[in-house]
Structure formats: structure tokens, C-alpha cells
Amino acid sequence: MKKAGLRGLLWMVFISELQAENESTEEKFIKEGETLNVNCPFSTEKYSYSQKAWQKLIDGRKPVTLALTKSTSGDPSQVREGRYFLEDIPSEAILHVQMTNLQVEDSGLYRCVIYYLSKEPDVLSPLFHLVVIKGSLPASSLSCCVES
């Protein structure tokens, strides 16, 4: 029984990793101390009256919800949770996310989701791969990877 349970758990992790790889991913390189601003589009017909959340994906663990909108009225709403700010703008079909005072340890994979209490969230594309850089990078360190 334990083998079957472990096998099932590993299969679920494999499938979720595979799904994450198939989602479009946008890379963001930001200096430490700066602010990340991203917009997550959503379908107004499906999600105007839904709670939305900003989550960090941590390898092999359940996603961590960092901020969650409260309103399900279809009206614009805002929420601030520490360094995280969400603005739900149903009339523009956008969830605006802001993370302030970024630190190197904030680097990772993030996503906007339609949040449900009793089931898995609907993931809004793209996923965001955030890389927070300490200080500034010398131009010579970038020359290896830029085509002219």
C-alpha cells in the first residue's frame, strides 16, 4: 500500500512538473531592491467574479499563495500582503501584480491563478521565472550570451 501511495505521489509531481514546462514562461531579470510589475490577462466571461492569487512554485512542494484577492463582486479590487500587491481589474481583464524590495532569495517560478478553496487553481499564462541579481552585472558577463 505504501509503494502504491508513493508511486501515485511521484506520478502527480511528474505530471505537475510536465504541465509547468508546457506553460509559456516569461523570464524577468531584476536588480535586488527593485520592484517587479507583471500583468496577468484573464477571461472576463469566466473569471470576473473569481478570487485571484499570486503564487510561488517551489520544487516538489505545493505552491505557496503569497497574496489573494478578497472580492468576487466583479468590481475592481486591491489587496496588499506585505511586499505583494494585487490589483484585480475585471473591466480590463487584467490582474496586476507587484512585488517590492526584491531580494536574491525571491528568485524562482511564479504564477497568477484563479483561486478555488476546494479544487486546484486555474493557472493564468504566462508563468514568471524571476531572477533577482545582487548589484549590477558587468557588461562583459553578458557578452557570452547575446547574439549580435
DSSP of 53-99: EEEEE-TTSPPEEEEE----SSS-EEEEETTEEEEEEGGGTEEEEEE
The per-residue pLDDT for 23 is 59
CA angle 92, 79, 17 (to 5 degrees): 80
Q: What is the mean pLDDT of the chain?
A: 82
11 or 23, higher pLDDT: 23
Q: Where residue 77 falls among pLDDT bands split at 50, 70, 90?
A: very high
93: alpha, beta or left, given left = phi > 0 and alpha = psi -120 to 50? left
Q: Give the tens place of pLDDT for each residue, 100-138.
A: 999 999 999 999 999 998 899 999 988 999 999 997 654
Q: Where residue 142 falls among pLDDT bands split at 50, 70, 90?
A: very low
Instruction: Tell me the whole-structure pTM to 2 decimals.
Output: 0.75
| Arithmetic mean of pLDDT, 11-24 | 45
Given a contact cutoff of 8 angstroms between Cβ atoms, the answer to whether 66 and 54 are in contact is yes
Expressed in percent and rounded to 5, the helix, strand and coil fractions of the chain are: 25, 40, 35
Q: Count CB-CB contacts under 10 A for residue 56.
A: 17
The per-residue pLDDT for 137 is 53
